[in-house]
A = this chain, B = another copy of it.
Amino acid sequence: MHILRVKTTTREQLVDITREVETRLARSGKSEGICTLFVQHTTAGLTINENADPDVSRDILAALRTLVPNNGMGFRHGEGNSDAHVKSSLVGPSLAIPFSNGRLALGTWQGIYLCEFDGPRDRKVVLSIG
């Protein structure tokens, strides 16, 4: 079990953590199995999406903001970040990614992203290689 630390810089952001995950996997020396990622926060999530055109990340955040605006849904939670909690549950906290020959079995255009919905903050992602 390893902890990846991710520093976000704005309220909403998709941070590509693929390289960090690949590096930890390589260090583990394991060849085949499942890499499990788990974010230890309730206003952030983990997703996999396109890593080529940065407009895809931008469009994902924009769509989520349209669906779940920061205000206007009658939220009661006093911290003013209920939208981030909702987005966190929509995207989800965990990913299971197979690996083979020591490499993640990602598709050509797939990158692994930490989804920040209430930053900037310091985030932790638990990485388990089994």
Contacts and interface: CB of A to CB of B under 8 A. Distances in A.
Interface in A36-93: 36, 38-42, 47-50, 53, 55-56, 58-60, 62-64, 66-68, 73-79, 82-83, 85-86, 88-93
A18 interface: no
For the residues of A in contact with B, the DSSP-based class is: mixed
A26 interface: no
A24 interface: no
A94 B96 contact: yes
Contact of A34 (B50, B66, B97, B130): B130
Given A47-B93, A93-B110, 6 more contacts: A1-B32, A41-B110, A48-B93, A59-B82, A60-B86, A92-B95
